[in-house]
Amino acid sequence: MTHSRKMGLAVAQMGPLHLADSRGAAVARLMEMMREAKSRNADLVVFPELALTTFFPRYWMSEEAACDAYFERAMPNAETQPLFDLARELQIGFYLGYAELTPEGRRFNTAILVDKGARIVQKYRKIHLPGHSDHKVDAPFQHLEKKFFEVGDLGFTVADAMGATIGMCICNDRRWPESWRSLSLQGAELGLVGYNTPSWNIHWKEPVHLRMHTHLIALQASAYQNAMWIGAAAKCGAEDGFHMIGGSVIVAPSGEIAAQSSTEEDEVIFANIDLALGDTFREHVFNFAKHRRPEHYTLITERTGAGPAVKGPE
């Protein structure tokens, strides 16, 4: 075991943000949790995906209407500057998810990593966009991420900040092993992810407990298979009646859950993580350089959907 490399990691879970809630109200709640995270001696606090507004892709509207109501044209901006100022005052870094409208008019589901000096050190734009772009008029709600967002164009990247090599992804990305492996192949030892996960499946009668089950196994498996700590922050509870799961967690490189939320409200969870724990897994069982065989993995990047069987040697 290498010498310990401790870091205070907080995950700030948000309860519902309703249509009627202003960005100012959202930021005030984020600031309150940032203060609590600091009081727990956190170096970094993870906020959810789309943390400034309700999960608006559940509603059918034009892209223009969505942009006017839910997208940020700059970051920081007037509403979020107080959060950046507080981060600098408290000397704490943070991950923040929000809807990004670029000066060129492009729309992304975005997350940023901000360091203790309130400098944006990394930006990530969501690559795996779930849902649909058509209006499902008979569905109880929509999931229009494919309508409102472009596929992220920044790839999966890592940054060295707060004493760790940190990778980011967003929500549905956490269900795809390619996301986390792309980060761990760059040395990420801590992965951050915000999410908004409806508890109700509009496609088939999925038992509701499975939403939590698949959420947790995706994160626990990914942390273990990539020898990384993962901090995952939910926005959850019933937003204007539309329920989303909680289950914010801090997962260790062993795959064990080090901390988990127990409410569907604003709740800060914390763990004093030892980044050195991942070193052991990277040195032995997941020593990529020693054990991986990419020459046998080509299907993973050659194919998008499943295709015909690859015949073995006759």
Please state, in angstroms and as integers, the Cα–Cα distance from residue 109 to each residue in 66, 70, 143, 148, 183, following that order.
Answer: 12, 11, 13, 9, 19
Q: Which of 38, 100, 126, 145 is catalytic?
A: 126
* Least CB distance to ligand ING at residue 83 (A): 22
Instruction: Examine the residue annotation and report whether 49 is marked as an active-site residue of this protein.
Output: yes
CA atoms within 13 A on the CB side of 79: 19
- Could you say whether residue 13 binds ligand ING (CB under 6 A)? no
Element spanning 215, H or E: helix 209-225
* Least CB distance to ligand ING at residue 291 (A): 30
Q: Could you report how far apart the first and last alpha carbons of the chain are, in Å?
A: 46
* Least CB distance to ligand ING at residue 4 (A): 33
Please state, in angstroms and as integers, the Cα–Cα distance from residue 189 to each residue in 89, 116, 154, 209, 233, following that order.
Answer: 27, 19, 20, 30, 18
- Could you say whether residue 172 binds ligand ING (CB under 6 A)? yes
Name which of residues 239 to 268 contact ligand ING (CB under 6 A).
none
d(CA 18, CA 167): 30
Tokens standing for residue 35: 């203060």
Q: Which of 171, 236, 264, 267 is catalytic?
A: 171
Stretch that binds ligand ING, among 194-202, 231-239, 262-270, 281-289 (CB under 6 A): 194-202
Give the per-residue contact string, 196-225, with ligand ING (x = CB under 6 A; - = no). Answer: xx----------------------------
Among 195, 224, 242, 286, binds ligand ING (CB under 6 A): 195
Instruction: Examine the residue annotation and report whether 136 is marked as an active-site residue of this protein.
Output: no
Tell me the backbone φ, ψ of residue 111, rounded to 5 degrees: -135, 145
Catalytic residues: 49, 126, 171
Which chain residues interact with ligand ING by CB under 6 A? 130, 171-172, 175, 195-197
